[in-house]
Structures are given as C-alpha cells and as structure tokens.
Amino acid sequence: MHAHDQPQKPFIPSWLDDRALSPAEFRVFAHLCRRANNKTGVAWPSLESIAVVCRISRKTIVRALNHLLHEGLIRKQGKPFGGSTRYLILSPNSVTTGTNEASPIVSPVPINRAPNDPPIVSPGAREGSPKKVLQRRFSNSPLPPKGAFEAEFSESWNKAVEKTPIPALRSGIPKRCKRNFKARTQDEEWMECWEAALKVATTDPFYSGRNERGWIADIEWFLRPNTVAKTHVRSTQPAAPTGRKLSNEEGF
C-alpha cells in the first residue's frame, strides 16, 4: 500500500474541540475554514451561500458569526462595495498565552491523492484562489461615487412598485428616512435580503392594500429594523389568503 493510499482522518485541533462551540458555530467556522484562502486565511462567503451549504438559517448564521468574533476565532477584514464581508480566520498560537494569530487553514500538500492525479478543480476556479481574489476583490475599477447604492436602490424600488399602489421614490430616499437607510445598509443580513423582500412586498397583494385595514407598504415601513428579515421569511412560506388581519410585526 502506497502512502497516498492510506486512509486519513480529519484533523480537529484540541483548542477547537475544547472551545465549547455550539453545533451551528462549529459548522459555520468549519465552512469559513474551507472557503479561506490558504495563504491569507481570508474567507468571504455570502450569508446565502453559508445557509445553503450549512443548512441553517441566516439569523443562526449571524449569531454564530458574532460569537466567533467575540471568541477571537475570526476577525472582520472589511467589506467591498456590493460584496460579502471578508473574515480572517484566527487560531491560538500558544497554549500558554492563549493569544490568536492568523495561520494557514489547509496544508498545501495534497492529502489522499497520487502525485500525478489531475486537480479536482482548476486552480483559477478554486475557492480561496489568489487569482480569484485579484479578479473579484481588487479590481482596478474606480470606487463607486457617494450615493451610488442609494440611486441603485431607488431605481430597483421604482421598477418593482411600478404596477402597484406602493408609493414610488420620485426624488430618491426621503430625508426623514435617510438615517434608517444608512443604518440598514450597514447591516449585512439586510444587504443580503432586501431584493428578495422587495419582490415579496410588490407581488403579495397583502402589501398593496388587500388586508383588513387597507394598509399599503411604503419606504418608511420597508426601512424599519426587522421588516426585510421578516418579509424575506415569507418568501419561503406558502401564500396566505388575502384580506387577513395585520399582525403587530407587519402593520404600524
């Protein structure tokens, strides 16, 4: 039996096994490690892709990420415009000091593969490929002008509500909503889900007045802290009959 034919077991370091992470936290951390660049230790999967692979909800993912940040197992490295948050994977560098540092996540040496075996994935398409990082994250394109996302959002909103009684944004985001809009755009979950939530709000008759109060959705409602998350959840549920009562979560 050749060395590369010998069965190998996954290696879980003792410091991670002893960390007392919940199943969701451990699963999210494992996924970040898998997606991380082998040289930089940086991963940038979207909440949607984590949810699909790990089969857990976005809220659970957000809680898990916050706990991993608190535990010092990951560190935020910024968020490119329109992209996903970048996370640097950390691990204890010393049993005595307990401090954390960036370290390689996966050994560059192939495991369980013969030297002449072809790669499973082409180098350019490989997760964490340095070439892919340059293509997707360090473009030479100029930075978007200030207010670019507001203009993009307003255009998407107006196009979506065109055939509904929901008020359009004739002059962009109203001044009274600017603060809420800025707060929402700094929320990763909101940025991941606002388009799906807008689609629900403009296709479900309930949000166009077919409810007990005749209430119609508007931008002020859409920019409330929990609106997008709750509306997005409705997109995964069976359609409810129109004319139903407004709940405290949906109405005023």
Strands 74-76 and 42-43: unpaired
* 3-class secondary structure, 75: strand
pLDDT at 218 over 60: yes
Instruction: Return the CATH architecture of domain 3-112+127-137.
Output: Orthogonal Bundle (1.10)
pLDDT given for residue 163 in this prediction: 92
Q: What is the pLDDT of residue 104?
A: 43
Q: Which positions ≥6 away from 222 have C-beta within 8 Å?
A: 197, 198, 201, 228
Q: Kindly give the pairing relationship between strand 100-102 and strand 87-92.
A: antiparallel
- When mean pLDDT is compared over 12-16, 165-169, 195-199, the highest value belongs to 165-169
- The CA distance from 29 to 54, in Å, is 10
Entry pTM: 0.45
Q: What is the pLDDT of residues 61-88, one digit of tens each?
A: 988 998 888 888 898 887 766 667 889 9
Q: pLDDT for 134-189, tens place per residue?
A: 333 333 434 445 567 888 889 999 999 999 999 999 999 999 999 999 888 877 77
Burial degree of 218 (CB within 10 A; 0-12, 13-18, 19+): middle
| Domain spans, the chain | 3-112+127-137, 148-234
pLDDT of amino acid 3:
54
Which structure tokens are listed for 223?
């920019």
Q: For the chain, what percent of residues have pLDDT higher than 90? A: 25
Distance CA 202, CA 161 (A): 6
Mean pLDDT (the chain, rounded): 74
Residue 131 has pLDDT above 70, yes or no: no
